[in-house]
Amino acid sequence: MQETLLHKAAKNAFDEFHLRNLPKVKYLSVEYAEILTEKKKLYGEYRLIKKDMQEI
């Protein structure tokens, strides 16, 4: 029963995003690396802004 509900939920998610196949691991790794780089850059900016705010 639970497996059926999980299967239906997964199918609904795939349908919602119009996916037919899972993305390749290589593609996901590249995308993750890009997002992580952007996160690190933005976090650095955030720390500087937070420091400025605390000084004010």
Q: Residue 20: CB partners within 8 Å, gap ≥ 6?
A: 14
Looking at the whole model, is its pTM more than 0.75? no
Residue 48 or residue 20, greater confidence: 48
pLDDT of residue 41: 96
Higher pLDDT pick, 41 / 17: 41
Query: Residue 45: pLDDT above 90?
Result: yes
- Which tokens hold the place of 51? 């420091």
Average pLDDT over residues 2-27: 89
2 Rama sector, left if φ>0, alpha if ψ -120 to 50, beta otherwise: alpha
Of 11-20, 22-31, 47-56, the least confident:
11-20
